Structure 1
Amino acid sequence: MTIFLYKLFLGFITGSLIGTFSYITNLLTKSGAFAVLFIAIIVCGFGPWLTWALLILFFTSSGCIHFAKKMLKVNNIDTITEKGHTRDAWQVIANSLPAITSLIIFYYTKNQLFLIGYVSAIAGATADTWGSEIGTLSRTAPRSIISFKSIEQGISGGVSVLGSIASFFGSLLISVSFWLLYELYHTSNLSVSMLLLVPLICGVSNAFIDSLLGATLQVKYSCPVCGQVTEKRQHHLNQTQRISGISWLTNDWVNFFSGCSTVMLSWSIVFYL
């Protein structure tokens, strides 16, 4: 119990540092910073130290990409996306809840299947974030994952070559890091495919599922003033009109469902391997 409380305290310190820095640099809202604090406490309290490292790696790499884009003065797409780049609590929780659920189950069962489920979810979140952030740097317009027609940058469901490559390397970063850290400090008979390939495949799948749900089921609106397709309920101070998707299925729900799909996919693969 002493070690567990000690880990919770470490999680509080780590989460406070990440949340405060992210809030100051406009990566997170105030509610988003508190959500990160909560998640850090859970991960540090219930997971082995390498799970903390992967979480920090996800936030650090995503933050570096964001700052690089600001320095390059990339065009802002916040008028299209529902909430913009500054994430609130719902966005943080939607991206993290499937992962921490799998981690908590791992803590009580000690079944490696659930640890790999956590890693796969982090790989998926990294792949999705890298794909979205770096994909906006593409000189060619993204294409709908369903119709393959060109769509406006920032609209959910669009994919580009650059964004797809970024998603792959984001998932690869988490997968390779997990493999190296696990092999360094654990003696087990888990294969390389279990440690490396499963999180990699599931992470890339997360970005695909996210785009697929974004293109088919996520709610989208049209601005009555400029006619622009947007994910916002209001545009140019006017109420937008729903043109497609399920009314309650916002990008937060898409992230949550794609995360759940990624975790369950990893469970299924590991179970049958």
Structure 2
Amino acid sequence: MADVGKKQLLALQEFKARGGGSLADVITRACSKGRKKRSSAAHAEASRGCLHAPGHGAVKGSAVSRRQGGPGGAEVISLGISMILFSWDDSNKDYFKMMTNIIILSVLICISLSFWIVSMTASTYYGTLRPISPWRWLVSILIPLIIASRGFKKKSLDHSGAIGGLVVGFILTVANYSFFAAMFMFFITSSKLTKWKGEIKKQIDSEYKEGGQRTWVQVFCNGGVPAELALLYMIESGPGEIPIDFSKQYTASWMCLSLLGALACCAGDTWASEIGTVMSSEPRLITTWEKVPVGTNGGITLVGLISSLLGGTSVGVAYFISQLMFVNDLDISAPQWPIIVFGGMAGLLGSITDSYLGATMQYSGLDTSTGMVVNHQTKDAKHISGKPILDNNAVNLFSSVVIALLLPGAAWGFWPRG
């Protein structure tokens, strides 16, 4: 077996040094080298046999030659398998990846065309439904799939989170490209900030996960409200981009701002928690204004509030830019710049709402054995604030619901008319 391993290594080295060649040629060269070495050894052994036992050297040499002459079938097969694996790793990896991408794209195109046929059939049958173009179907499937797969590879999502993100992304993208732009900004910035200064966060947060590793529960608590609003938006006005104008399309505009508010709320809370916890400023509890340890639910800082404002603004900017890119009749509609201001206010107010719910309905305790803030009661935990009614995911969900329901109505009173 040792000889077989040496031959395999020799063949692999020769294959790599000479830039490849056919598998049969390399195996033949390796076996020929092994045969020459064994023939020399057999000849020397036969000569020694003739010296020590006259008349029997030829027989002994012949036996040695038969025993060590050429490689057997098992050796050739073993070497061939090694060569196949070697050439697969070095030569065919890129080809396999390319073919996989082509197959996936072909399947997605077929799915998109199938959806388009269904939408055309439904539009023809009912007469009031606007069909969705095959290009929109393809973009709605392909782009969320790429984002979800990259999020999984970078450990921003686990398996269930990637599937949940794919579903939410598909619904938002097929409904309105501006919805997708806002969601994309929230996901990218939140993922980057979650990984930012992770070593410090490990020492503060007892539930910190490397890279974030969001599950399907977290995905739907942050994206469930926007996904539902996107479905209602498609029922109301059909898929497509519209300017936000209360004087012309009140219900559809209200739903657009409601969805933007929910995403900006989640972005503002994420920015505040991910940036505020690693800064040196000491947080204060929002209900009593007492100083609390870093990581306490309901603790706020000036840095955190500014971060929440910027987080919501970033989502508003993404929505506004996509409006400029995809909406055609902006010149006869109300100004769209208030979208940016609305996003910033939704992020700030959403973070404040989240902090208040966290301070009152989410348990926070200081574990004396580790010095970390925990979200559940233990024998070593000293109570800081809140009651064990909601967890962090539920707090995020309720905060986004509150902002999505209340803020569009308030914005209607101040929104410019076209």
Partner residue in 2 for 1:89: 216
Structure 1: distance between partners of 2:196 and 2:308? 17
More helix by share: 2
Counting aligned pairs with the same residue, the percent is: 22
Q: Tell me which moved more, 100-109 or 163-172.
A: 100-109
Partner residue in 1 for 2:342: 198
Asked whether the 8 Å contact 2:177–2:322 carries over to 1, the reply is: no
Structure 2: distance between partners of 1:48 and 1:156? 34
Matched, 1:138 2:279: yes
Asked whether the 8 Å contact 2:204–2:373 carries over to 1, the reply is: no
Counterpart of 1:104 (choices 228, 231, 237) is: 231
Matched, 1:160 2:301: yes
Q: Unpaired runs of 5+ in structure 2? A: 1-118, 121-131, 238-251
Superposed counterparts of 1:1-273, under 5 Å: 1=119, 3=132, 7-45=136-174, 47-70=175-198, 73-77=199-203, 79-81=205-207, 85-110=212-237, 111-186=252-327, 187-188=329-330, 189-192=333-336, 194-221=338-365, 223=367, 225=369, 229-232=373-376, 245-273=386-414
Structure 1 residues 109, 77: closer, same or farther in 2, change over 3 A? farther
Quote how far apart the aligned CAs of 1:8 are. Answer: 4.5
Structure 2: distance between partners of 1:253 and 1:226? 26
- The one-letter code sitting in structure 2 at the alignment partner of 1:28 is L
Asked whether the 8 Å contact 1:94–1:253 carries over to 2, the reply is: yes
Quote how far apart the aligned CAs of 1:161 are. Answer: 1.5
Structure 1: distance between partners of 2:273 and 2:309? 12
- Deviation string 1:192-211 (CA, Å, 9 cap, x unpaired) is 46533333222221111001
Structure 1 ranges of 4+ moved more than 6 A: 238-243
Q: Secondary structure at the match of 2:197?
A: helix
Q: Unpaired runs of 5+ in structure 1? A: none
Count of residues in correspondence between the two structures: 267
Larger radius of gyration: 2
Q: Secondary structure at the match of 1:249?
A: coil
- Deviation string 1:201-258 (CA, Å, 9 cap, x unpaired) is 2222111100110001113456485585411466xxx797988645441111100000
Between the two structures, name the one with larger relative contact order (CA 8 Å, sep ≥ 6): 1
TM-score after normalising by structure 1? 0.85
Quote how far apart the aligned CAs of 1:105 are. Answer: 1.5
Quote how far apart the aligned CAs of 1:177 are. Answer: 2.5
Q: Tell me which moved more, 12-21 or 159-168.
A: 12-21
CA RMSD of aligned residues (A): 2.8
TM-score after normalising by structure 2? 0.57
Asked whether the 8 Å contact 1:15–1:40 carries over to 2, the reply is: yes
Structure 1: distance between partners of 2:276 and 2:260? 23
- Deviation string 1:55-104 (CA, Å, 9 cap, x unpaired) is 1111112222234424xx43415743487832211111111111222222
